[in-house]
Amino acid sequence: MTQLRVNQSVIEIVQGDITQQDTEAIGNAANSRLAGGGGVDGAIHRAGGPSIMDELRAKYKGCPTGSAVITGGGNLKAKYVIHAVGPIYSRSSKDAKLLSSAYRTSLELCTQHKISSIAFPSISTGVYGYPVEEASRIALDTVKEYLKGHPEIKLVRFVLFDNKTFKVYEDALKEMELIS
């Protein structure tokens, strides 16, 4: 585990299973139809049970790329799931803005719902094809900037499933620490 302190808040990098996190909320790498899917999205829906999808269908008609919506956590340890829609990587200059916005909107939902801890996956780096090296820096920079003005969020944990992604995020966080 690697950490970076931002005022009274902590950004943490761990390798593990996001569905097992004990944070108040977990982030989900959702699709814009909020229809469930594979990867992190599928794992969260399987572990959390059908109440998450039921709530999504009842409350939302989709979610635009770069935004996020919130539901209860169903059978998860986390009380909430924040479903963030990252971009499908296209090499466009919009990609970075949309990815940053997906994280920022998720954090804004944390602030609105008085959630002080969240675990995020690496959004858009699976089937959406975003290069992990670039995505990790965008994610970490966005979170760090948000935490500077939002001390109510005490912990943002990035939970990376495989060793390669964990190492990339760990290196990016260490690089940020040297720069700050």
Beta-strand ranges (E) seen in the chain are: 2-6, 9-15, 25-29, 68-72, 80-84, 117-120, 155-160
What is the pLDDT tens value at each position of the chain, 180 positions in all? 789 999 999 999 999 999 999 999 999 999 999 998 889 999 999 999 999 999 999 999 999 999 999 999 999 999 999 999 999 999 999 999 999 999 999 999 999 999 999 999 999 999 999 999 999 999 999 999 999 999 999 999 999 999 999 999 999 999 987 765
Backbone angles phi, psi at 134, to 5 degrees: -75, -45
**How many separate domains does the chain show?**
1
What integer pLDDT is reported at residue 159 of this predicted model? Answer: 98
> Amino acid identity of 69?
V
Q: Provide the sign of the torsion angle of the four alpha carbons 109, 29, 32, 46, taken in this order.
A: negative
Q: Which residues are marked as active site? A: 41
- Nearest CA to 157 out of 121, 123, 119 is that of 119
**CA end-to-end span of the chain, whole Å?**
19
**What pLDDT, on a 0 to 100 scale, did the predictor assign at position 180?**
58
Instruction: Write out the residue range of the structural domain in which residue 102 sits.
Output: 2-179
- The CATH number covering residue 88 comes to 3.40.220.10
CA distances from 96 to 53, 67, 77, 120, 154 (A): 28, 13, 31, 17, 25
Radius of gyration of the chain (CA): 15
